Structures are given as structure tokens and as C-alpha cells.
Amino acid sequence: MEKKRIALRKLLEAVEHELLKKPNRKTLDRLSLLVGFQDWESFQEALHGEADAKTNYEPSENRKETSR
């Protein structure tokens, strides 16, 4: 029974280690897109600085109007 307990503890430690690992850059960039930022750096600047999601978009007056 002791061997099973030790094996289970090692398995749980391995799973915990994987869950706590930082996601790679591509994943962070994709998550940033979901919340309205162009990339992870832009999102970090908004969190820790003066920027916000509005800096990632052109003002409406600068956009070209499309006719149907």
C-alpha cells in the first residue's frame, strides 16, 4: 500500500507541475487577442501602464467606408 501512495503522490506532483507551468508565447498572444489586444506585450502594457485596448484600433474617422 505504501508504494501505491508514493506513486500517487509522484503523479500528483507531476500534474501540479504541468498545471503551474507558464503557457508559451503563442498561447499568450492568442489569449490576448480574445480580450482585444494585438499581442501579449500590448496586453501587459495595458495592465501595467497607461495603454488600453483602444490603442489597437484605428479611430472610426480614419477607416474607409465600404459601399455595398
C-alpha cell read off for 59: 479611430
Q: Residue 4's pLDDT is what?
A: 85
Confidence bin at 37 (pLDDT 50/70/90): very high
Q: Which of 28, 67, 20, 63 has its CA nearest to residue 44?
A: 28
Provide, rounded to the nearest whole percent, the portion of the chain with pLDDT above 90. 19
Contact 52, 46 (CB under 8 A): yes
Average pLDDT over residues 38-55: 79
Crossing angle of the two packed helices 25-34 and 40-48, in degrees rounded to 10: 60
CA distance linking residue 53 with residue 32, whole number of Å: 10
pTM of this structure: 0.47
Looking up cell 500534474 gives 15
Q: Residue 22's pLDDT is what?
A: 81
